[in-house]
Amino acid sequence: MAGQLIREWTAIQQFPAATQEKLVDLLGKLKNENVNTLTILVMGKGGVGKSSTVNSIIGERVVTVSAFQSETPRPVMVSRSRSGFTLNIIDTPGLVEGGYVSDQVLETIKSSLGRFLLNKTIDVLLYVDRLDAYRVDNMDKQVVKAITDSFGKKIWHKAVVVLTHAQLSPPDALSYEEFFSKRSESLLKCVRQGARISKKDLQNFAIPVALVENSGRCNKNEHDEKILPSGTPWIPNLVHTITDVALNGKEGILVDQKLIEGPNANERGKLYIPLILAVQYFFVIKPIQKWIKDDIARETKPSWD
Amino acid sequence: MKCSSQTFHLDSAEKAAMELEAQRKDDLGFPLCILVIGKTGVGKSATINSIFGESKTAVNAFEPSTTRVKEIIGKIDGVKVKVFDTPGLRNSLKDQPKNRKILSSVKKLMKKSPPDVILYVDRLDTQSDNVNDLPLLKLVTSYLGSSMWRKSILAFTHATSVPPDGPDGYPLSCEVFIAQQSEGVQQLIRELLGLNDDSMIPISLVENHPFAKKNENGETLLHNGESWRSNLLFLCYSIKTLSEVNIQNPLEQRKFVDLQIRSQLPTRPVFESHDWDRDIDYDGVLIEDKLEIAGCFPAVISVQLAKDKRECNFQLHSSFLTARIMELLARTRNFLTSLKAKPKSERIKQRLVYP
């Protein structure tokens, strides 16, 4: 870390006292376990609230958010330190462009990670989506698959599903709890399918879900903390979930050369080419040659005589 | 020059409408057929239920509930309305085969029973990720024809959702938010049709949430206090009327009839009390009147037709829509049709009548 000056996390002081207290406690918990750095990668489709969530965690508008245009143009890493503890959060552009998961965006993310975090680990993945989306479809599955292909299935051991726009009035006269539970279930099912997590492996991949409300009109409790409809202050709740995942004993994802360079879709199956050629030669071409030779041998006289 | 003596008496139209209603005529013979399309989960079925005021088609907040094209028939204010609910289109390009299947069955349906109005539904409160919507809009246009946009309305659901925060951290105003979101889609469609002007497809705001604010009649209100359902129905009838009159400039052969509905963006109902007695060229006609429906509900209806500009402004400021308005529109339609028969060089004096 020589020569690298990381900004002091002064924005933590703008949180209401009750939230600050809880955050400081959580940082203390990490330090007790000898964890002095926490690196969080934030990914998901476009327009779901990744940048807003980053701003909410840090406590200041570090990443620009626009309600209209396609947001974050390239990955941004925000680093803050406080009493020897360093927090790194990487905000990324939405993975979907024009109806497909964008390979270009993925490549940009990987090369940025190579610049920010070469040979360092990603401790937590925040997979962000909206609570008030009513469909989980192939697109979501493809996003999950792309993340899995790029970072390995193990990243889902270190993942938190973050649902934004949590302050909603549920549709169709459902209760909030019912709606939240069904929505989480659909999304988690999609993650399992996209990451190819088998049924028997399920208990290994218990991915927690955290609710988030980033807008300025989020309700507050008597201590001025931003709360969810259930009354829980959501910022400490989110950070608590993150720390639990960071300390869950599973390995973080190492950002090494291998991760940055592959897998490239074009590379897939290249190793099979010599094998396929060999199979074709020995099992198709040679037998046909033999049959032709046998046929010639069987012919005793020309048929046009 | 019989045209100079022709005056359009709105009060006689109103009398006729009152008589019709008194006779309790079941079907005023002005049926409306609406086709509802859009992405999955945006609120197509919910909007249809709101239009009819009852649950006519199933909704589901977690998976697609409409799996095939469904015909829904009902009566609104004594007028027969037929709505086609369709399965939602998918965002992922991998689901193109599914989308193609849906669109080709919609296309077949349109041939069999051509709709008067096409409602293209989307959510107001999701980011109009233009790059992602363009392929879908292209596909829709390729199956249903670019002329579909001539009789389309962009319906934005979740219309009373609070706007997101702007760059300064404070929430955007409703007007700015709505304008930006709708303009996003409008631009895409213009791009698709190769138009480089500012022609607009009429928009309608929709709110289907059961707990949204309602007026004394039980109609859901938008932020500006207007009932969205009345506005939408009025828009539908206007479009039907216009297409029946078939106003088009033969010189330029535009693909589009501009239909600017000014009362769509948030405005408070206003009573216009101008006294217009204009000398109007064949190019334009303004008909405006104040009405009193059932003797107590005020309304202002104005129809402004500028043939040259290919512009037709319909404005209705009223607390609700009734069969009378339908009749008025029918009369307007007939009048406009008769207008077409006049040679271009004649000047027409229209006297505007106030009761």
pLDDT recorded at residue B301: 53
Q: Is the peptide bond preceding residue B269 cis, with omega within 30 degrees of 0?
A: no
In whole numbers, what is the pLDDT of chain A averaged over residues? 90
Within 8 A of B64 by CB-CB distance, chain A residues are 135
Q: What is the pLDDT of residues B295-333, one digit of tens each?
A: 444 455 555 544 443 445 555 554 444 555 556 556 655
Within 8 A of B163 by CB-CB distance, chain A residues are 67
In whole numbers, what is the pLDDT of chain B averaged over residues? 72
B274 or B170: whose pLDDT is higher? B170
**Of A54-68, B4-18, B26-40, B74-88, where does mean pLDDT reach its minimum?**
B4-18
pLDDT recorded at residue B281: 30
Could you give the CA distance from residue A47 to residue A128 in angstroms, rounded to a whole number?
Answer: 10
Whether the CA torsion B349, B350, B354, B355 is positive or negative: it is positive
pLDDT recorded at residue A305: 56
- pLDDT band at residue A266, thresholds of 50, 70 and 90? low
Chain B, window 108-137: residues with a beta carbon less than 8 angstroms from a chain A beta carbon: 125-132, 134-136
Q: Measured between alpha carbons, how far is residue B274 from residues A93, B352, B355 in Å?
A: 54, 11, 14
Q: What is the pLDDT of residues A218-238, one digit of tens each?
A: 999 999 999 999 999 999 999
Cα nearest neighbour of A214 on chain B: B165
pLDDT recorded at residue A275: 85
Task: Kindly state whether B172 is in contact with chain A, defined as any CB-CB distance less than 8 angstroms.
Answer: yes
Among candidates B41, B93, B209 on the partner chain, residue whose Cβ is nearest the Cβ of A100: B93
Of B134, B244, B245, the closest CA to residue A97 belongs to B134
Of A117, A96, A142, the closest CA to residue A253 belongs to A117
Number of cross-chain residue pairs from A and B with Cβ atoms under 8 Å apart? 104
Average pLDDT of the residues in B73-100: 90
Among candidates A94, A98, A172 on the partner chain, residue whose Cβ is nearest the Cβ of B135: A98
Cα nearest neighbour of B95 on chain A: A138
Of B323, B13, B328, the closest CA to residue B315 belongs to B328
3-class secondary structure per residue, chain A: CCCCCCEECHHHHHCCHHHHHHHHHHHHHHHHCCCCEEEEEEEECCCCCHHHHHHHHHCCCCCCCCCCCCCCCCCEEEEEEECCEEEEEEECCCCEECCEECHHHHHHHHHHHHHHHCCCEECEEEEEEECCCCCCCHHHHHHHHHHHHHHCHHHHHHEEEEEECCCCCCCCCCCHHHHHHHHHHHHHHHHHHHCCCCHHHHHHHCCCEEECCCCCCCCECCCCCEECCCCCEHHHHHHHHHHHHHCCCCCCEECCHHHHHCCCHHHCCCCHHHHHHHHHHHHHHHHHHHHHHHHHHHCCCCCCC
pTM for the structure as a whole: 0.78
Cβ separation of B171 and A215 shorter than 8 Å? yes
pLDDT at B279 over 50: no
Cβ separation of A142 and B172 shorter than 8 Å? no
Cβ separation of B125 and A132 shorter than 8 Å? yes
Q: Which residues of A114-136 are buried (b: 16+ CB within 10 A; e: fewer)?
A: bebbeebebbbbbbbbbbbbbbb
pLDDT recorded at residue B326: 57
Of B24, B41, B238, B68, the closest CA to residue B158 belongs to B41
Among candidates B40, B64, B164 on the partner chain, residue whose Cβ is nearest the Cβ of A67: B164
- pLDDT band at residue B351, thresholds of 50, 70 and 90? very low
The neighbouring-strand residues paired with B205 are B156
Q: What is the pLDDT of residues A99-110, one digit of tens each?
A: 889 999 999 999
Cβ separation of B92 and A99 shorter than 8 Å? yes
Task: Kindly state whether B94 is in contact with chain A, defined as any CB-CB distance less than 8 angstroms.
Answer: yes
Chain A, window 69-128: residues with a beta carbon less than 8 angstroms from a chain B beta carbon: 70, 94, 96-100
pLDDT at B207 over 70: yes
pLDDT recorded at residue B133: 85
pLDDT recorded at residue B341: 42
- pLDDT band at residue B349, thresholds of 50, 70 and 90? very low
Among candidates A65, A142, A173 on the partner chain, residue whose Cβ is nearest the Cβ of B92: A142
Question: Do residues A162 and A126 make contact, with C-beta atoms less than 8 angstroms apart?
Answer: yes
Q: Which of A113-122, B225-234, B292-301 has the highest mean pLDDT?
A: A113-122
Task: Kindly state whether B77 is in contact with chain A, defined as any CB-CB distance less than 8 angstroms.
Answer: no
Cα nearest neighbour of B178 on chain A: A68
pLDDT recorded at residue B7: 40
Chain B, window 267-326: residues with a beta carbon less than 8 angstroms from a chain A beta carbon: none
Cβ separation of A65 and B167 shorter than 8 Å? yes
Q: Measured between alpha carbons, how far is residue B243 from residues A119, A169, A302, B347 in Å?
A: 66, 40, 80, 25
Task: Kindly state whether A175 is in contact with chain B, defined as any CB-CB distance less than 8 angstroms.
Answer: no
Cα nearest neighbour of B41 on chain A: A134
Task: Kindly state whether B180 is in contact with chain A, defined as any CB-CB distance less than 8 angstroms.
Answer: yes
Q: What is the pLDDT of residues A185-206, one digit of tens each?
A: 999 999 999 999 998 888 889 9
The percentage of residues in chain B with a pLDDT greater than 90, rounded to a whole number, is: 35
Whether the CA torsion B43, B45, B51, B55 is positive or negative: it is negative
Cβ separation of A138 and B92 shorter than 8 Å? yes
pLDDT at B138 over 60: yes
pLDDT at B275 over 60: no
Within 8 A of B88 by CB-CB distance, chain A residues are 135
**Of A256-260, B190-194, B223-227, B341-345, where does mean pLDDT reach its minimum?**
B341-345
B3 or A40: whose pLDDT is higher? A40
- pLDDT band at residue B78, thresholds of 50, 70 and 90? confident
Q: How far is A277 from chain B (nearest CA, A)?
A: 31
Cα nearest neighbour of B158 on chain A: A171
